[in-house]
Each structure stands twice: as structure tokens, then as C-alpha cells.
Chain A
């Protein structure tokens, strides 16, 4: 990779200061995305500012109606958390399927969603569970967070501190993985909150998106059959050597059915 200057932030405020002082700095969380990117020489930040030492950014807590996950919490900890497994098991399933065991020891929820990778799992989880992204500046609703390919609503110096998930009645997550990379070709999170249902899809488009038609059908009848005949348009879906847009569109329906069955 190209040269850069590394520093450890002692707190969120310190991290922001360091970023301001840099020419073109970037935060590093777990590094599971940033370091491979740097190794490929696809980015050349002047500074890399490590959030690992900043206080109070990791940890999982629940108050009975929400589960709050600190931005620097590792995927492995989310996957094995008693709180998460009890309250939102689908979220534990999602976290347990990211990468591989070693990657899960380092990767973080904050790092994952700040990147808005079209094939990452967490965006579907955050969007599907109607989570709130808490930053050092404000709180951002999931619906407003993922804006485009690798783009989010975050400002330049804004740092995610936690993600707060309302606890659904039930939820299910399933991923159809790219067999080579393990990333989602299509990943669907279905979650029921009273009379409302949310269906969020990752892997298929530029960023995670919801499927209103499926949500309405499931709100009326929460069963796999309700979405079996709903297909989404292949227009604007991703195409690559592993999956065409048409195939992805088809998989969205299949995975949605299966996510409902798991919920």
C-alpha cells in the first residue's frame, strides 16, 4: 500500500480532531475492508486514524425494547451475544455469516455500515430492522442512512458511535452468498413490528433497499406464500460474473420467502 501516517484516537472527539488536522485522512475500525482496499492500492489516505482505542464504542446492551450495539463491536461478539440471540436472533445469524471466524474477530458493525458496501450483510440488517444509527453529531434513521454505492448520509467528520435496534416481534435473515467471496449476492432481512413489516435487501442493488410491495403483502399475511409471486424488476440491479441482474431479481423473491420462513 501507499504510505500514510497512523494514529490512535483516544476518544471520538480526538478522532475528529485528528481527521480535521489531516490532509485526507480515513478512520479505521476493524480494518477488514479498509486494509484490503489499501493493499490493492485503491485508496491512498494521508492518515489512518484508529478508532479501536476510543472509549465506549464497543459493547452490547438492551433495555427490553431495544438492543444497542456499540459501533466498534466485533461481529463475533454480536453473533454470540446472549442479549442479541434472545431479542433479535436474526441479527445474530446475520453477524455469524459475515466473512469467516478470523474476520469476525476483527470486523465491526460501525465499519461495515459506514462503508455501505453493496454486498455487505449489515445494511440489510440495519434497514430491515429499522435501526437508528447514532453518531457523534446526531441520530440517523436507517431509511435515511444508505444513499448510494459506498455512500451514506454521514458527514465528513461524523463517526458512528452505536446502532440501536428496536426489538421486532420476529425477524429472519438469509443470505445467498457469492461462492468465491462469501459476500451477499442477495441477502434479505424480514422483520415484523406489530402490523408493519419491513423487507430489506442487500447485494442486489447499489445499496441496501426495501421492497414496499413485499412489505404490504406480508403485513396482510405474514407467510412465505405472500411474497412467492412478487418479483422485483431487474433494472438497476447489479450484474457481475457471478450473477446477472435477472438472477438476482429472482433470488430476491426466493430469499424473501425463506427469510419469512425463518422469522
Chain B
């Protein structure tokens, strides 16, 4: 542990030998193509599939009516059950895999055409005759809850899914009333599209002999998908088999059992043959869950010294047209639990109006609620500094939870185990040469450019699903096989977990095999990967299973060394008898364990230990300071991120190379949110205007600066490894760092109000408006 071990898994990937789901085909496989709604909101007046059915190569066309008539498919589930303060449940609209009466967002699913080739299916989709009656639509989040907005669900008055409040607001209002100072901000957290590089693809299959429904699809854990799919097809667990091969990026959007996957499984069962869907990038853009999309008003009352007396947040959060699996939980549970982030806040009130609109449903995407929480706090801190006439660093130091307060129970009753915020911030500031900004600012000014520097301090809550499965199975050849219920889709778990096992057992890497949660028939247990839970959950499960192996191995070693167990010591992969000095390696013990002749009487063969790890603490609290330095061309509004520095506290680091990789990737996505990525729906027609990379701006190498990343390893006290999540912090730290840097650069021009993404046009317009 702690070493930058190179990934053995890279060899397959870098030579083109990886197997992603579109890289293989099954015997007898047919191809499916979807008909999707071109309208934001419409009634389906008529639907005639006759012509499509008769097209060349077509072997089946299925609509919502077919699925409903079969009567064997439940509604798409939502597992985040959010209530209001009075205990009233949220409105959970019915969502069928294929809609037959009404469509509610551009991309909503209507039918599937199955043909012998992909292109035959694609051609035939255009032959489906369908008549729509377009209805008024609403796509803007703030407008969606206004009284005159187009109504989407008759049962959800004002497009309200639920009005969540963490408590009554009377106390915070009283505090704000009497506070000597109040900082106020109005913020937009822009809607994002995750866009992993592998588009959507899946194969549904059916084993008639066993009645098993099979799904091949990239995911963030086959077990995780299984647990959702079984809510839609209520079968015995072994009658649903999910296999995820190499997966081209997840980021939170790949962990959901989307309607397309359900339809493919159902269709395969109907037709008794495999059916593959090769989604194109447009389909990915329109049907992968979107994310963020919050409109927030927040207030921070302070005493005469700038110390916060409380926090009030009022958010309108868009869930889209339907509820995705976790959608309404993101702003109300995921983000809310870390509200206030690193600051000491005596009283916190948070209200979230969870609202429907005629847009793609939202759900988790790297950070899932925590970037929103960080953005609010860091914007408030900057505003608070202005209100108080204080330095932004000074006011943060004043309000940070001090080291001596840990473990600290935050306003949402979460026990935060550790954190050294001032120290971490200082490390970042040094890395960024924070104090040298004035000289650099003057230099930029000489060239007609405006330079600014900004800080984003984040804390996020990583983990979730606080149980996991790990197993270490010693093989007859002396090697070890790690089995774990997390699922690596780019993170390099195979390497990181081998490092953990190596440290625990002394076994060399070449003698280790790694199987994770990519096949429910092989690793049925576990919760997959997401929320940066893999090292803290999967890693610890493996560590504990390894320790069990060593303990059992000691019994065998003692037997083989002909001495008492209490005279055997284990170190660096070897059991040594303290009396005779004789030794035997763990590998040799493993080999012997497969030979009953070598084992003590009555002992079963094998050396194979499981750990079902359940942890009390739901989360741990990665945190960090991100500093962006920008240079703006006031003539065009173009922002160049000239420098970017960060120091993250991810607890103990297993592999610094992997850690840096995760931080880089998260920062890039955070920079994307802040500067480039803009999910656009036309306000009048509800048309989706971000269906390709021509319009949705993906960060490219020339747009990301060198990332100067360091770490402050503050050991996590709530797990054996001392690790905290590492994968999502950058998404939380980068947007406020950039926003604060840009506002710093433009402050002399009187610009105080900007919304992400900070496109050149927006910056230029703000400069003009301030003139």
C-alpha cells in the first residue's frame, strides 16, 4: 500500500484486447432499435407498426401495449422514497418501460423494432406510423413550479414531486432576522450529461431451459443492476443473470437499470433469442440520466465577527419527467447530508422543491448532490467575505470545524470522523503560490488580460450502502483469488486490491487473481461501485477475508510444522515455527490445504474465507482545497484556466498513481461543469439541443491545464484501512474554485453575477451589462 503500482489490467486495454459489450455477439442474435419521442410533451393519438413489421429483416415490433398486455413487467422503480415534513410521500408517477399514451420528454421510449441486422432495425423504425398531439411543455427548472407552467402529471400539482424540508424554518428565519450580517446568494447548478466514452449497448438473452433472463450490459456492478431488475421482473434471484464485461466509464449514470435494458430482456424472452441494442451517442445524450440542475437561494447569517450563526437553503431541483431510481434522493438525501460541508453551523434549514419538467430524468453523476452542496457553501463564503469586508481565507478559517471538534456531528446528524481543513487549505495555497497572485495579476494586465484566483473547499460524503462482500480463495496451485462485490470500470481495483492483499499476506502480485462484481453467477453478492465506496468497502472486505485466511492458515501451518499454533508466527507471507525455526509459505499452506492427507483430522479441504463486511458509519468525509487561477480576455470573454492546484484529504492512499488519476478525472469533469458543459432545452418547444458533442462541449486536452495535485493523508478512523473516497472530490472543488477565480478577475469591472457554464458569451455579456 502507498506505492504507485502499475496496473496489470492495462495490457489488455492498451492493445485493443479488452472486451466491451459491443465487441462480441451471441449465436442467433437479432438487433433492436428504439423509436423515441421527438416531442417534449405529447399525446400518442395512434400507433401503427404494420409497415415496420413487414420491412426487410424485421422479426418483431413491440410497443407499450404489448408489454402491458403480457402483464409480466412492473413499473420502473424509484428507490428513493422522499417525504415532506408532515410525512406525506412524494408523488411517484408510473413509468412503463415503453410509453403508450403519452410521452413526456424528447427521447421518451415508445417502441422497439427487432431485425436480423442493426441497419434493418434502424431503417424499419422510420416506418412506424405514429400520430402525436403536441402538448405545452416546460423545461426550465425555476419556471416548472410556477402556477402557469405546463402540467405534466395531473396528480402532481404545480409539477411538484415533493417539497422536502429537513426541519421547520421558523428558527432559521428568526436567526436571520436578528443577525447583524447576512450573506445571500442565488445560484444555478447547471444540468450535466455524464457522457462516458462508451455509448449505451446491451444484449438481452433468455435461457429457455432454466427460464433465466440474461442481460449483458456495461455497468457499475452486475449485482447492483440485478437488485433493480428484480423489482421489475419479480423472479427468483437466480432467474436473472447480469454480466458486465469491460465497461467504458460509469460516473454514476451506468449504475442504473434503464428501461432500454428491461425492454431488451423482455424482448429476448418473448422471441427466445438474444437481442442486441447498439445505442448511438445521441441516444446516450438523451437517455442516460442527466444530473445536477438546481436553482438555489441561500443565506448565511453571521455575528459581528463573521462567524456563521446558521444556514438557510432553498432549492428547486429538477428530476425530469419521471423519477429515476435515485433521482429525488440526490438533492434531498445525498447532497443534503453534507450540507454545510466543512463549516460549523449551529442551525441549518434546507428546503428542496423537487420538480418535474419535460426533460430527461436526473439521477446520480459523480458527486451526486455533494458538488451542489460545495458550490453553495463556497459561494456563500465569498459573499460573506464581501459583506464582512474580510479576506476570503480568513472567513473560512473562522468558520471551519476546528480539529479539536472531531468527531463532529454535523447539522444533519452525521458523525464526521476527521479533517484538518486549515492545514489542507494552507498546503493547497502554498502549492498554488496563492501569495504571488498580485504580481501575476499585474503581468496579465500588461497584456490586456484579467487574472483572478479562487478557492473551492469541499467536503463530500463518500460510501453509502455500508455493507460489502469480500472473499479470498487460496487455490490448489498456491495462488490467491480475490472475489469482491465492487466493480472496477476504470478505477484499477484489480491493482489496488492486490496491493491490499499483498500487504496482508506477502503474496506476490503474479500469484493473485481478481474477480469482481461483473457477473451475478460468479459474484452474486455485493453492491457494486459508486459513491467512491470501493476502497472503503471492497478493500476492507478483502482485508478482513485475508486476515481470516491467515488465521486458518496458521492452524494448517502449525500442523505441517508439527508445532503448537501458539508457536507459529506469520510475517511477509511466511509462517515460522518459533521453536524450530522451520517455515512454510502461505502458498505452500494453500497447496497443502487442498490435500486432505496433509490436513489435521476432521478439517475440510480448502483455504477460502468470506467476509460480509457491515459497517456502522454510512460514510466517510473526503475533503480538499482546490484553487483555480484564470486569465480572462475581456474583449472576447474567453477564460483560460492558467493554473490549477489541489490538495485532497482522501485519508490513507492505497496507490498514489490511481489516486491522482481519479482526482484528475474529477477535476476535468468539474471544469467541464464550470466552463463548458451546457445542457440546453429550447424554452418554447422543449426541444433537446444538446444531442451531440457538436453542441455539448466536452473538455478536451487543450482546455485542461496541468493539474498540480497533492494529498494530505488524514487517516479515516471508521475503517480498517483508514481510507476515504477519492473519486468525486474534484467535481466538488473545481466548480467553485473556477467561479470564485472568475469573479475575482472581473471584480474591478463590477461583475458580480455569473452562472455556469461560464461561456465566453456569458462573460462578455456580463462585462457589457456592468458597464
Q: In the complex they form, do A and B come into direct contact, defined as C-beta atoms under 8 angstroms apart?
A: yes
Asked whether B25 is an interface residue with its Cβ less than 8 Å from the other chain, the reply is no
Evaluate contact between B695 and A180: CB separation under 8 angstroms: yes
Report the stretch among B32-40, B410-418, B615-623, B757-765 that lies at the interface.
B757-765
Partner of A180, one of B123, B698, B764, B765: B698
Evaluate contact between B698 and A241: CB separation under 8 angstroms: no
Evaluate contact between B697 and A179: CB separation under 8 angstroms: yes
A219 to B697, CA, bound (A): 39
Evaluate contact between A176 and B759: CB separation under 8 angstroms: no
Partner of A176, one of B123, B636, B696, B765: B636
A213 to B7, CA, bound (A): 62
Asked whether B680 is an interface residue with its Cβ less than 8 Å from the other chain, the reply is yes
Q: Which residues of B contact A251 (CB under 8 A)?
A: 636
Evaluate contact between A179 and B689: CB separation under 8 angstroms: no
Evaluate contact between B761 and A181: CB separation under 8 angstroms: no
Asked whether B129 is an interface residue with its Cβ less than 8 Å from the other chain, the reply is no
With contact pairs A179-B676, A251-B636 given, residues A241 and B764 touching in the complex (Cβ less than 8 Å)? no
A201 to B123, CA, bound (A): 40
Report the stretch among A132-140, A192-200, A242-250 that lies at the interface.
A242-250
Q: Which residues of B contact A243 (CB under 8 A)?
A: 761
Asked whether B678 is an interface residue with its Cβ less than 8 Å from the other chain, the reply is yes
Which residue of chain A has the shortest Cβ distance to B282 in the bound complex? A40
Chain A window 152-184, contacts with chain B (Cβ cutoff 8 Å), 1 for yes, 0 for no: 000000000000000000000000100111000
With contact pairs A179-B703, A180-B693, A180-B696 given, residues A247 and B765 touching in the complex (Cβ less than 8 Å)? yes
A176, A242, A254 interface centre (most CB from chain B within 10 Å): A242
Q: Which residues of B contact A180 (CB under 8 A)?
A: 676, 693-698
Q: Which residues of A contact B569 (CB under 8 A)?
A: none
Which residue of chain A has the shortest Cβ distance to B699 in the bound complex? A179
Evaluate contact between A242 and B761: CB separation under 8 angstroms: yes
Give A contacts to B, CB under 8 Å.
2, 176, 179-181, 241-244, 247, 250-251, 254
Other contacts beyond A181-B693, A247-B761: 17, CB < 8 A = A176-B636, A179-B760, A180-B676, A180-B693, A180-B694, A180-B697, A180-B698, A181-B694, A181-B695, A241-B689, A242-B695, A242-B759, A243-B761, A247-B764, A247-B765, A250-B764, A254-B636
Asked whether B168 is an interface residue with its Cβ less than 8 Å from the other chain, the reply is no
A251 to B759, CA, bound (A): 14
Partner of A241, one of B635, B676, B695, B760: B695
Q: How far is the CB of A255 from chain B (nearest CB, A)?
A: 9
A180 to B698, CA, bound (A): 7
Q: Which residues of B contact A179 (CB under 8 A)?
A: 676, 697, 703, 759-760
Q: How far is the CB of A12 from chain B (nearest CB, A)?
A: 32
A2 to B635, CA, bound (A): 45
A176 to B760, CA, bound (A): 10
Q: Which residues of B contact A254 (CB under 8 A)?
A: 635-636
Evaluate contact between A244 and B636: CB separation under 8 angstroms: no
Evaluate contact between B636 and A241: CB separation under 8 angstroms: no
Query: What are 15 A-B pairs with beta-carbon distances under 8 A?
Result: A176-B636, A179-B676, A179-B703, A179-B759, A180-B694, A180-B695, A180-B697, A181-B693, A181-B695, A241-B695, A242-B759, A242-B761, A247-B764, A254-B635, A254-B636
Evaluate contact between A241 and B765: CB separation under 8 angstroms: no
Q: Which residues of A contact B759 (CB under 8 A)?
A: 179, 242
A23 to B629, CA, bound (A): 59
Evaluate contact between A241 and B680: CB separation under 8 angstroms: yes
Give B contacts to A, CB under 8 Å.
123, 635-636, 676, 678, 680, 689, 693-698, 703, 759-761, 764-765
Q: Which residues of A contact B680 (CB under 8 A)?
A: 241
A129 to B765, CA, bound (A): 33
Q: Which residues of B contact A247 (CB under 8 A)?
A: 761, 764-765
Which residue of chain B has the shortest Cβ distance to A100 in the bound complex? B700
Q: Which residues of A contact B696 (CB under 8 A)?
A: 180
A200 to B697, CA, bound (A): 27
A180 to B695, CA, bound (A): 6
Q: How far is the CB of A254 from chain B (nearest CB, A)?
A: 5
A108 to B282, CA, bound (A): 27
Which residue of chain B has the shortest Cβ distance to A254 in the bound complex? B635
Q: Which residues of B contact A181 (CB under 8 A)?
A: 693-695
Q: Which residues of A contact B636 (CB under 8 A)?
A: 176, 251, 254
A112 to B260, CA, bound (A): 39
A179 to B765, CA, bound (A): 17
Q: Which residues of A contact B635 (CB under 8 A)?
A: 254
Q: How far is the CB of A134 from chain B (nearest CB, A)?
A: 32
A231 to B678, CA, bound (A): 29
Q: Which residues of A contact B695 (CB under 8 A)?
A: 180-181, 241-242
Q: How far is the CB of A97 from chain B (nearest CB, A)?
A: 12
Which residue of chain A has the shortest Cβ distance to B280 in the bound complex? A39
Q: How far is the CB of A75 from chain B (nearest CB, A)?
A: 18
A250 to B695, CA, bound (A): 22
Q: Which residues of B contact A241 (CB under 8 A)?
A: 678, 680, 689, 695
Q: Which 9 A-B pairs have the closest CB atoms?
A: A180-B697, A181-B694, A179-B697, A247-B761, A254-B635, A241-B680, A243-B761, A180-B695, A241-B689
Q: Which residues of A contact B764 (CB under 8 A)?
A: 247, 250
Q: Which residues of B contact A250 (CB under 8 A)?
A: 764
Q: How far is the CB of A96 from chain B (nearest CB, A)?
A: 14
Q: How far is the CB of A105 from chain B (nearest CB, A)?
A: 18
Which residue of chain B has the shortest Cβ distance to A181 in the bound complex? B694
A250 to B694, CA, bound (A): 23
A243 to B761, CA, bound (A): 6
Q: Which residues of A contact B693 (CB under 8 A)?
A: 180-181
A179, A241, A243, A244 interface centre (most CB from chain B within 10 Å): A179
Q: How far is the CB of A240 from chain B (nearest CB, A)?
A: 8
A180 to B195, CA, bound (A): 14
Q: How far is the CB of A41 from chain B (nearest CB, A)?
A: 8
Evaluate contact between A244 and B703: CB separation under 8 angstroms: no
Q: How far is the CB of B637 from chain A (nearest CB, A)?
A: 8
Which residue of chain B has the shortest Cβ distance to A179 in the bound complex? B697
Which residue of chain B has the shortest Cβ distance to A250 in the bound complex? B764
Q: Which residues of B contact A242 (CB under 8 A)?
A: 695, 759, 761
Which residue of chain B has the shortest Cβ distance to A247 in the bound complex? B761
Q: How far is the CB of A188 from chain B (nearest CB, A)?
A: 13
Which residue of chain A has the shortest Cβ distance to B637 in the bound complex? A247
Which residue of chain A has the shortest Cβ distance to B690 in the bound complex? A241
Evaluate contact between B698 and A244: CB separation under 8 angstroms: no
A180 to B285, CA, bound (A): 15
A2 to B636, CA, bound (A): 42
Q: Which residues of B contact A2 (CB under 8 A)?
A: 123
A180, A181, A247, A251 interface centre (most CB from chain B within 10 Å): A180
Q: Which residues of A contact B678 (CB under 8 A)?
A: 241
Which residue of chain B has the shortest Cβ distance to A180 in the bound complex? B697
A2 to B126, CA, bound (A): 11
Q: Which residues of B contact A244 (CB under 8 A)?
A: 761
A2 to B698, CA, bound (A): 29
Q: Which residues of A contact B698 (CB under 8 A)?
A: 180
Which residue of chain A has the shortest Cβ distance to B689 in the bound complex? A241
A180 to B676, CA, bound (A): 8
A106 to B474, CA, bound (A): 55
Q: Which residues of B contact A176 (CB under 8 A)?
A: 636
A251 to B761, CA, bound (A): 10
Which residue of chain B has the shortest Cβ distance to A257 in the bound complex? B635
A250 to B768, CA, bound (A): 11
Which residue of chain A has the shortest Cβ distance to B694 in the bound complex? A181
Q: Which residues of A contact B676 (CB under 8 A)?
A: 179-180
A254 to B764, CA, bound (A): 12
A242 to B676, CA, bound (A): 10
Which residue of chain A has the shortest Cβ distance to B677 in the bound complex? A180
A240 to B746, CA, bound (A): 26
Q: How far is the CB of B235 from chain A (nearest CB, A)?
A: 39
Q: How far is the CB of A182 from chain B (nearest CB, A)?
A: 9
Q: How far is the CB of B689 from chain A (nearest CB, A)?
A: 6
Q: Which residues of A contact B689 (CB under 8 A)?
A: 241
A68 to B696, CA, bound (A): 38
A237 to B176, CA, bound (A): 49
A2 to B689, CA, bound (A): 24
Q: Which residues of A contact B761 (CB under 8 A)?
A: 242-244, 247
Q: Which residues of A contact B697 (CB under 8 A)?
A: 179-180
